[in-house]
Amino acid sequence: MVTGGGMSIRNCLCLAIVGWGLTLPAAAQTVSFTFDDGPRIDPTPLMTPAERNEAILAHLRDKGVQAMFFVTLENGPDRPEGLAMLQRLSDGGHLIANHTVTHPDFNAETTSLDTFAQEILTCDAVVRTFPGYRRVFRFPFLREGAAVSKRDGIRVFLREHGYRIGYVSIDTSDWLLDRKLRQALVSSPTLDLTSWRALHLAALWDNAQAYERLARQLYGREVKHVLLLHHNLTNALFLGDVIDMFRALGWRIVSPDEAFEDSAYQVAPMIPRLDGSVLETTAQALGIPLQPALAGLRSERRVGEEADRLAIQH
């Protein structure tokens, strides 16, 4: 495939990546795509909720990628419009999983074990009706309980109800970039999206490479990565570019079902406070330092600062 100027997509992406100060992989890796918090029915610039949903579906269909959507009921599927959007995702051949009703912070003292467990059951009653249903649960904010009693209690609950944890290996801040982009579009509806696309790609690539280094440090091998994205405007706009980037740079894309069979996700790290990538929590549980593997990670703070600079420039 070539661009209008005859340059291959791989070469174009390589130039863009190098321009952001990043490095190319030494060998092929594997990644799967998962989306949290959707389908969302809140208003955004440029697209209606249904249009965002259809754009994400079109990117996945056109690129031949099967994704897993972790559903938060209160964001839309508890109402007819959102339920119809969820049906579209399922009809598109994608996998449907559980992300609670209200997206509570399980680390918060105000979130009890019983209340949290009930949120899982309430969400399950809806998502289990779809053909692509998988008994996989992802913690909101990737937080598994600051108190040991809550952490252990919810693990027992999930095990008793046949759930596996939908761990993430590549954590990202696409949700923050999306917030900044939407704010910028409110101020400047004709905003040039080129730099925002470049930042989105660079931030994801940086984190993919950082977590791949940590995976090799932990396991001495490639793992089948699980990428965390969100059902939002940013991915409705740029998901096709994200998929093209990973493929052009040598990564193979697999289904989340395949990725979750990797032994890297068959773990239960025993540390007091769990959140973030499962690779980070596993390393911490084993006493393995996160640096220098994660030295190139684009933190939430860095992504926010870079997005703020883009907003000012425009």
Decide if pLDDT at 15 tops 50.
no
Question: Would you say residue 13 lies in a domain?
Answer: no
Give per-residue pLDDT as tens, 31-55. Answer: 999 999 999 999 999 999 999 999 9
Say if 14 falls within a structural domain: no
Strands (E), the chain: 30-38, 68-71, 95-98, 133-137, 164-165, 224-230, 252-253
Q: Of 103, 132, 145, 133, nearest to 120 (Cα)? A: 103
- Contact present, 233 and 46 (Cβ < 8 Å): yes
CATH of the domain at 200: 3.20.20.370
Count other Cβ atoms within 10 Å, centred on residue 166: 24
143/3: higher pLDDT: 143
Tokens of 1: 């495939």
Amino acid residing at 173 = S
Residue 202 sits in which domain range? 26-313
Q: Indicate whether 14 pLDDT > 90.
A: no
Residue 32: per-residue pLDDT: 99
User: What mean pLDDT comes out for the span 207-233?
Assistant: 98
Render pLDDT for 72-93 as a digit per residue (tens, 0 to 9).
999 999 999 999 999 999 999 9
What confidence tens digit (pLDDT) does each residue in 225-282 have?
Answer: 999 999 999 999 999 999 999 999 999 999 999 999 999 999 988 887 778 999 999 9
pLDDT over 90 (residue 2): no
Residue 257 is assigned to a structural domain of this protein: yes
Q: What is the pLDDT of residues 51-68, one digit of tens each?
A: 999 999 999 999 999 999
List of residues 6+ apart from 245 with CB closer than 8 A: 13, 17, 201, 204, 205
Beta-sheet strands, E only, within 182-260: 224-230, 252-253
Residue 303, H or E segment: helix 300-313
Please give the distance of CA 28 from its chain centroid, rounded to a whole number: 21
Domain contains 284 = yes
> How many residues would you count in the chain?
314
Q: CA-to-CA distance for 260 and 32, rounded, in angstroms?
A: 9
Residue 89 falls inside a structural domain = yes
Report yes or no on 211 lying in a domain.
yes
Q: ω before 39 within 30° of 0 (cis)?
A: yes
Q: Is the pLDDT of residue 166 over 60?
A: yes
Residue 6 domain-assigned (yes or no):
no
Predicted pLDDT of residue 22: 46
Tokens of residue 36, six digits = 């949290």
Mean per-residue pLDDT, 126-144:
98
Q: What pLDDT score does 141 carry?
A: 97
Tokens of residue 259, six digits? 């990725």
Domain assignment of residue 17, yes or no: no
**Does residue 212 surpass a pLDDT of 50?**
yes
State the angle between helix axes of 194-219 and 9-19 in degrees (0 to 180), rounded to the nearest 10: 80
What is the model's pLDDT at position 273?
Answer: 73
Predicted TM-score of the model (pTM): 0.91
Number of domains in the chain: 1
What is the mean pLDDT of the segment spanning 210-214? 98
**What distance in Å separates the CA atoms of residue 170 and residue 229, rounded to the nearest whole number?**
9
